[in-house]
Chains A and B, each alone.
Chain A
Amino acid sequence: MIKLIFYLFAGILIFAGTRVITVKNPVHAAMFLVLSFFSSAAIWLLLEAEFLAMTLVLVYVGAVMVLFLFVVMMLDINLTVLREGFARYFPVGALVGSLILIEMLLLVGPNYFGLDKFQVPDTASTVPNTVALGRVLYTEYLYAFEIAAVILLVAMVAAIALTMRSKRQNKYQDPARQVEVSAHDRLKVLKMPAEKAQ
């Protein structure tokens, strides 16, 4: 039964992954990416890694992909330009891609990484894996965790630095100044000598 579910989700995952890079519409591609996230979350659940599965769905599907969709829809990418030259490069690309695929399959396959080579992890632990993960994360891997946090901070700083314009460049309104304005500031009456008719 578990095997059946595994192959089902694995199949969906591969199908969705392939579609992500083959469909023409970027919105559809994003949706396929969401599907592949869901499938991998399901596989993780099979491995009893509930926490990771939940995080994947919450963070990637719930936040990242939604944001991604917004961006894709806002940019309105011209597909025909992107497709240019595809046919020309396809044979070479396909050749190289398949070569790498074959090489990888030869090694990272059941020959060396089969179930007989590696034991199934012992999951009959007393603590739930959220707790276990938390413990390791805040003790043994505290240093790495901190650095990861710093990376996020840098990402934030970088994002702001690259997108925020200083006040002078932004167009904005200051209601207080709008209210306080007087006719005197806006209107100037110029006195000009009247032209005399000749």
Chain B
Amino acid sequence: MESIALIIVLAPLAGAILAGLFSVSRKVAHRITITGVGLSFILSLVVFKQVVLDGLLPFADGTAKEVTLYTWLSSGNSIFEIGFLIDSLTAIMMVTVTFVSWMVHIYTIGYMADDEHNWSGPGGAGKNSYQRFFSYISLFTFSMLMLVMANNFLQLFFGWEAVGLVSYLLIGFWFQRETAVYANLKAFLVNRVGDFGFLLGIAAVLMYFNSLNYADVFANANNLAGISIQVFPGVEWSLMTVICILLFIGAMGKSAQFPLHVWLPDSMEGPTPISALIHAATMVTAGIFMVARMSPLYELSTTALSFVLVIGAITALFMGFLGLVQNDIKRVVAYSTLSQLGYMTVALGASAYNAAIFHLMTHAFFKALLFLGAGSVIIAMHHEQDMRKMGGLKKYLPITYWTALIGSLALIGFPGFSGFFSKDAIIEAVHFAYEADRPGAMFAYYSVVIGVFITALYSFRMFFLTFHGQERMDEHTRSHLHEPPKVVTLPLILLAIPSVLVGVIALQALLYGNFFGDAIYIAKEHQVFTDYHGILGFVLHGLMQPPVYLAAAGVFTAYMLYMKWTDIPARIQHRFSMLHRILMDKYGFDRFNDWFFAGGARQTGNLFSSIGDKTIIDGFFVNGSAHLVNRISGILRQLQTGLLYQYAFAMIIGLLLLLGWFVHF
């Protein structure tokens, strides 16, 4: 099993190295990487079967769930290791990640087929961009697997940073576009803010638990639960709360939670397969996964949980609003992703980690599907992304149309589709927390319920604008409209299947059953999903709740606004121009960040540069000391006269001094 786990991780890495570093042809590049990731997926299924279905422990002949492969470094009492921890949580993440990644690999063959067009101007960068792209996404798969399979914080952090790096590389993949470079820089910098918290959290864990291994940390969590520390003098904070919030700040960066969400919409500058793989299905869920993995810690701090809950609720609702006014098809999906990540975070905050992972999984499938569908539209439209120039695409792109419909229905939580189960479970969990009177739960509850309406509204706004109504594209584009090739549509179909079915299949196991075993820990008083009444019972229960009707209302409103009375949206926009401006301005976060953080940092930097650096450090210390050293060097150099007897004399004098110094006569 160790070897299987190793192959799962290393096959994509090998693919990335081969495709990226050895100038192979395009065909070879995609074959290698697809084989590598496919191998990972199949082996992940094997692992899933053994660990989840057969209930076996993966390592050390079925006696351990974790294994240490290599001691990277030992420094004092701290030991830094590389190892794997495979339990049901890991297994489900592995399968999801490798499957979506595999689909995206295949899809990329079609999407990037004529990528050379995207590289303007001279320079060789566009020549092998195809291979480079495959290398990057394979590398991403490797990093993500390292992240989810880690058995310690250090490796988690490695994976965390590695996916961040690949994300940076891919957002800026078309680095000749200024917007792409801006976007990837922004993503990187915002993530640094989150990583700062994350790193502090890990440091706190190392400091107080004296180990970075999950097992050791969780085992000792209860002993340290009562400790409080003084971060600032005079203020006592519970250690667990500090650690959990610091770690969650990392998750806020990676999973794009308010107020660190600003990078995700811009990340759509990257090629669409990336948006599907990294910025919808996998990397952004790393934060969700991390919190679920740390559930034994979070359960010890209700303060941290409430913090998570509120942040998630804000993200879920307010990012949904932004989706309403976007015209770029990918940006709509991006804001929808933000909102759905908010849902997952809300679930975490409500201690329903299993519901969060459940939604993570269903979301991975249907959001990847939606992104790839959007990508398919973009290919067909010759890389036109503005929905105002689309419309009536249904008859040109039947497969894309139907799969996008499935994805949208799953997203809004149409009964029976996967999203229905996971989202209902989240709302149920928040309701439970509301009734248990947990701080912030009321706000969260109303946010997610209203969010359902908003979700339906923007999803179907996009759907109708794209596929129905007037054909608003120009004549040239229309004449070339046709369904993209099989490599594009096949992943759509393959992703549509789980988008529908995975909810029904996994509902009982994930929410009510003992699926996660001890991988996720939920305190007894926080458990929501206790009695199970069968699928039908769940559906019926759901049908009696407001969300379903809110979703239906959202679809209906979208239909009325964008199909029937198409002049109304413009009127609303005119009437509420203030609100519209705020939404278009994304609540002004970007401007504020640019002005306060970027501008302020530049100002401070200039100040320090001119006074501190140039005058004091450069002028006095660096150049001053360099001149001094140089002068001394020049003088000392004279000692080496080249005369033999002087050398001998120096030795004798050295001997004499040593004698005089050390021998006591």
A and B in direct contact, judged by CB atoms within 8 A: yes
Interface residues of A (CB under 8 A from B): 93, 96, 99-100, 103, 106-107
B665 within 8 A of A: yes
Instruction: Indicate if the CB atoms of B665 and A96 lie closer than 8 Å.
Output: no
Q: Chain A residues with Cβ under 8 A from B659's Cβ?
A: 100, 103
Q: Does B639 contact A (CB under 8 A)?
A: no
Interface flag for B655 (CB, 8 Å): yes
Chain B, residue nearest A106 (CB)? B665
Q: Which residues of A contact B665 (CB under 8 A)?
A: 103, 106-107
Q: How far is the CA of A104 from the CA of B127 in the complex (A)?
A: 79
Enumerate chain B residues within 8 angstroms of A99, measured Cβ to Cβ: 656, 660
Q: With a CB–CB cut-off of 8 A, which chain A residues contact B663?
A: 103, 107
- B649 near A: Cβ within 8 Å? yes
Q: Does B1 contact A (CB under 8 A)?
A: no
B 620-665 contacts with A by CB, 8 A? 649, 652-653, 655-656, 659-660, 663, 665
Q: Do the beta carbons of B652 and A96 come within 8 Å of each other?
A: yes
A-B pair number, CB within 8 angstroms: 19
| Interface positions of B (Cβ within 8 A of A) | 649, 652-653, 655-656, 659-660, 663, 665
> Are the C-beta atoms of B656 and A100 separated by less than 8 Å?
yes
User: Given A106-B665, A107-B665, is A100 in contact with B655 using a C-beta cutoff of 8 Å?
Assistant: yes
How far, in angstroms, from A106 to B664 measured CA to CA in the complex?
10
- Distance in Å from the Cβ of A6 to the closest Cβ of chain B? 28
Residues of A within 8 A of B653 (CB): 96
Question: Contact partner of A93 among B649, B655, B660, CB < 8 A?
Answer: B649
Residues of B within 8 A of A100 (CB): 652, 655-656, 659
A168 to chain B, nearest CB (A): 34
Alpha-carbon distance A7/B660, docked complex (angstroms): 31
Q: List 19 A-B contacts (CB under 8 A).
A: A93-B649, A96-B649, A96-B652, A96-B653, A96-B656, A99-B656, A99-B660, A100-B652, A100-B655, A100-B656, A100-B659, A103-B656, A103-B659, A103-B660, A103-B663, A103-B665, A106-B665, A107-B663, A107-B665
Please give me the 7 A-B residue pairs with the lowest Cβ-Cβ distance, nearest first. Answer: A106-B665, A103-B659, A100-B656, A99-B656, A96-B656, A96-B652, A96-B653
Interface of B is mostly: helix
Determine the distance from Cα of A96 to Cα of B665 in the docked complex, in whole angstroms: 17
**Distance in angstroms between the alpha carbons of A107 and B655 in the assembled complex:** 15
CB distance from A103 to the nearest CB of B (A): 5
Known: A96-B653, A100-B655, A106-B665. 9 other contacts (CB 8 A): A93-B649, A96-B649, A96-B656, A99-B660, A100-B656, A100-B659, A103-B663, A103-B665, A107-B663
- Taken together as a complex, chains A and B put the C-alpha atoms of A168 and B663 apart, in Å, by 59
Q: How far does the Cβ of A98 sit from chain B's closest Cβ, in whole Å?
A: 11
A93 CA to B649 CA, complexed, in Å:
8
Would you give the shortest CB distance from B188 to chain A, in whole angstroms?
A: 63
Q: A93 CA to B656 CA in the complex, in Å? A: 12
How far is it, in angstroms, between the C-alpha of A100 and the C-alpha of B652 when the chains are bound? Answer: 9
Output the nearest chain A residue to B659 by Cβ-Cβ distance. Answer: A103
Contacts of A93 in B (CB 8 A): 649
Q: Shortest distance in angstroms between A92's beta carbon and chain B's nearest beta carbon?
A: 8
Question: How far apart are the CA atoms of A99 and B658 in the complex, in Å?
Answer: 12
**What distance in Å separates the Cβ of B664 from its nearest Cβ neighbour in chain A?**
10
Report the nearest A residue to B660, measured CB to CB.
A103
CB distance from A79 to the nearest CB of B (A): 16
- On chain B, the residues within 8 Å of A106 by CB distance are 665
| CA–CA, A100 and B665, complex, Å | 13
| Docked complex Cα distance between A100 and B655 (Å) | 9
Residues on the B chain within 8 Å of A96, using CB: 649, 652-653, 656
* Closest residue of A by beta carbon distance from B665: A106
Complex alpha-carbon distance, A96 and B660, angstroms: 12
User: Closest approach, in angstroms, between the C-beta of B658 and any C-beta of chain A?
Assistant: 11
Q: How far is the CA of A96 from the CA of B649 in the complex (A)?
A: 9
CA of A8 to CA of B665 in the docked complex: distance in angstroms? 31
| B547 CB, min distance to chain A CBs, angstroms | 92
CB distance from A67 to the nearest CB of B (A): 23
- Which residues of B are found within 8 Å of A107, using beta-carbon distances? 663, 665
List of A residues within 8 angstroms of B655 by Cβ: 100
- Minimum CB–CB distance from B164 to chain A (whole Å) comes to 62
B538 to chain A, nearest CB (A): 89
In the bound complex, CA of A50 to CA of B659 (Å): 36
Smallest Cβ distance from A198 to chain B, in angstroms? 69
Q: How far apart sit A93 and B645, CA to CA, in the bound complex (Å)?
A: 11
* CB closest residue in chain B, given A95: B656
What's the least CB distance linking A88 to chain B, in Å?
12
- A113, chain B: closest CB distance, angstroms: 15
Q: Bound complex: CA of A106 vs CA of B660, how far in Å?
A: 12
